[in-house]
Amino acid sequence: MKKIITTVSLAAFGATGLQAAYAPDLSPTSASKIWSVSASLRGFYDDNYITAPTRARLNDGTKVGPEKRDSYGFEVSPSFNINIPLEQTFIGLGYTYRFVYFEDRDFKGNPEDPYDQGHQASLRLDHQFSERSKLELSDTFVISREPTIVEEGIPGLTRTESDILRNTAAATFSTDLSELFSIALGYTNNYYDYEQEAKDVGAGSRSALLDRITHLGSINLRWQARTTTVALVGYQYGRVNYTSEDPLTPLLAPGNPLNQPEVRDNYSHYIFVGADQQIASQVTASVRAGAQITVYDNLPSAFKDEQISPYADASLSYAYASGSSLQVGARHARNQTDIAYMLGSTSPTLDQETTTGYGSINHQITGKLKGSLLGQLQLAEFESGVVENKSDVFYLLGVNLTYQFNPHLAVEAGYNFDRLDSDISYGAGYPRSYSRNRLYIGIRGTL
């Protein structure tokens, strides 16, 4: 799923290269060297770093539920990239380390460490067999305690004092069948592992709810209808397998088949048509539309379920000036959820059907000053269980200003806002909804 990263200036794995070799997606500046090193230092204020829900108020005026915790702090994030363009092959390696210190956790007698650490490593290998055929391989490994960095499409996740691991591996092979027709074959594998288990918190741990392996295979047949138009027909097969042995809920006996994570396993068929259009020299558009057929094949026969839902993915990009661009898009598909059972449930919540709209503007205000504005709106409706047809609405907003003194040094400042409005609560007085505000200012250096 496309996802907007609201921390606009988070260091990303860049790409640099050598000479006029095979270097896909590299700018002329990036292609002038084989390596790059960067580091950022930020100070921040976060008014709800544990993403605690909005506290409910009882009839007598008493507030119940976990209390928000705010904190000042700083973040240090060094990274490096090594990129090797050869005659027909491109090899890229990258690593980013993230250290985040929270003042609140250091001076209020908390037993937890006052800091978080995160790691992200990436590998990319592209090979051009000929003018007609190429292979693209990639792998990204992430460890973090911040759910929004690891998960895509699950807005209700609160922060825990435990690590989350995700590995994403992808492969795509494309070849021209003729001057007008080409085909692309793809496969993506995601592995999620949450450190929080039943031995730590009992039934319903993060591991039980979200440990999983996903597979997605795809085939697209493309037709060059016009010089500026490509039409396509596509098919995808997706598989979700939950891997934890922890029970989903204390409401059912541990041995009950409905209390096993694999009861939410499913597979999906995606059938769609689409087009890629060069509307003008600076404007491109892409659209995919079809159906997703999802089967939950591990449910007991009395609860067998199959869902047919729309599948759509559309985007528009406009480079309206030098250094300035606009992107908008929308997507509709099913995704996993951290909700399995609530009070009164007799069957599990299986997943969510989600519509996401997003947009971003990057504007070169002056030769050295650049502004960015990002936004996302996500509407997710729950499938099955006592919360069926109830929904989460998630809002993200990010604004950033960066002043580039020279190619090696920049200062930045920004603001991020997250808000979840949910129809459900975790129990009497414990709502799911929350809001979060973050302010930051910092400096970034690049070699």
For residue 92, give both structure tokens: 């890229």
Is 295 inside a domain boundary? Answer: yes
The reported pLDDT for the residue numbered 60 is: 60
User: Is the predicted pLDDT of residue 7 greater than 50, yes or no?
Assistant: no
Res. 156 pLDDT band, cuts 50 70 90: low
Is 21 inside a domain boundary? Answer: no
User: Is the predicted pLDDT of residue 64 greater than 70, yes or no?
Assistant: no
Using alpha carbons only, give the angle 332, 333, 339 rounded to the nearest 5 degrees.
120
DSSP annotation of 31: G
Res. 55 pLDDT band, cuts 50 70 90: low
What integer best gives the mean pLDDT of the chain?
89
The reported pLDDT for the residue numbered 262 is: 96
Is 269 inside a domain boundary? Answer: yes
Is 264 inside a domain boundary? Answer: yes
Tens of pLDDT, residues 402-423: 999 999 999 999 999 999 999 9
What pTM was computed for the model?
0.89
Q: What is residue 147's three-state secondary structure?
A: helix
User: Is the predicted pLDDT of residue 10 greater than 60, yes or no?
Assistant: no
Which amino acid, one-letter code, is at 310? P
Q: In terms of DSSP H, where are the helices of 157-289?
A: 198-201, 206-210
The reported pLDDT for the residue numbered 105 is: 83
- Residues 264 and 381: their CA atoms lie apart, in Å, by 16
Is 272 inside a domain boundary? Answer: yes
Tens of pLDDT, residues 286-324: 999 999 999 999 998 888 778 999 999 999 999 999 999
Residue 287, number of CB atoms within 10 A of its CB: 17
Higher pLDDT, 145 or 110: 145
- Residues 175 and 134: their CA atoms lie apart, in Å, by 7
What total of structural domains would you count in the chain?
1
CATH of residue 327:
2.40.160
Is 2 inside a domain boundary? Answer: no
Is 19 inside a domain boundary? Answer: no
Residue at token pair 């069948």? 177
User: Is the predicted pLDDT of residue 65 greater than 70, yes or no?
Assistant: no
User: Is the predicted pLDDT of residue 79 greater than 80, yes or no?
Assistant: yes
What is the longest distance spanned by two Cα atoms in the chain?
75
To the nearest whole percent, how much of the chain has pLDDT over 70? 87
Q: Are 181 and 232 in contact (CB under 8 A)?
A: no
Is 25 inside a domain boundary? Answer: no
Tens of pLDDT, residues 419-446: 999 999 876 667 889 999 999 999 999 9
Give the domain range for residue 145. Answer: 30-446
Mean pLDDT of 359-371: 98
To the nearest whole percent, how much of the chain has pLDDT over 90? 74
Res. 151 pLDDT band, cuts 50 70 90: confident
The reported pLDDT for the residue numbered 178 is: 96
Distance from the Cα of residue 323 to its chain's centroid: 25
- Residues 365 and 346: their CA atoms lie apart, in Å, by 56
Res. 2 pLDDT band, cuts 50 70 90: very low
Of 106, 162, 98, 123, nearest in space to 15 by CA? 123
Tens of pLDDT, residues 170-198: 999 999 999 999 999 999 999 999 999 99
Res. 150 pLDDT band, cuts 50 70 90: confident
The reported pLDDT for the residue numbered 293 is: 98
**Secondary element (H or E) of residue 242:** strand 229-242
Q: Phi, psi (5° rounding) for residue 106?
A: -95, -30
The reported pLDDT for the residue numbered 30 is: 58
The reported pLDDT for the residue numbered 94 is: 98
